[in-house]
Amino acid sequence: MLRFDIAPVCSNAYRFHAAMSFAIAALYLFTPYQWVSILLAFGGLMRGFVSPHKCMSYKLFAGVTQKLGMPKMQNAGSKMFADKIAGIAGTAMFVTWLAGSDIGVIPATAILIFAFIDLVTGFCAACWAYGAYYKFKQA
């Protein structure tokens, strides 16, 4: 479902978010600083459930891509869906860390893999799933 109620977002700014998500997942998995997952949770939930345009990191990254002359605008729906997944995964990582459980490595590993793919190739698996769902739903 295309989102026309929210202004388009810069997909290149979201590649910066992929780098940030990759770094957070790597810190979670390979260092004792698992508390950083709260950053992934807060950012993902803010961009996914409120609006990407109200998130400070999105504003920063969109400004950087604008200055570099690399803005590539796209409909916000698929990126917001990806943010919802990242926000929920970050929340699961943070809550399981607080609970002392190791189960948070599962969403952290998924974020690490899919953020790396997005960062390197520009392919957003959640965005693809979002589009495939609505194509399947129409059929």
Overall domain count for the chain: 1
The whole domain housing 35 covers: 9-138
Contact 44, 93 (CB under 8 A): no
| Residue 4 is assigned to a structural domain of this protein | no
| Residue 53 is assigned to a structural domain of this protein | yes
| Residue 110 is assigned to a structural domain of this protein | yes
| Residue 34 is assigned to a structural domain of this protein | yes
Q: How much is the pLDDT for 1?
A: 61
Q: How much is the pLDDT for 45?
A: 97
- pLDDT, tens digit (0-9, with 9 covering 90-100), for 61-97: 999 999 999 989 998 999 999 999 999 999 999 999 9
> What are the backbone angles phi and psi of residue 30, rounded to the nearest 5°?
-115, 5
Half-sphere exposure of 113 (CA within 13 A, CB side): 8
Partners of residue 10 on adjacent β-strands: 73
Residue 108 pLDDT exceeds 80: yes
CA distances from 40 to 43, 57, 100, 129, 134 (A): 5, 11, 19, 21, 26
| Residue 3 is assigned to a structural domain of this protein | no
- pLDDT, tens digit (0-9, with 9 covering 90-100), for 14-30: 999 999 999 999 999 99
| Residue 116 is assigned to a structural domain of this protein | yes
| Residue 1 is assigned to a structural domain of this protein | no
pTM: 0.91
| Residue 30 is assigned to a structural domain of this protein | yes
Contact 74, 11 (CB under 8 A): yes
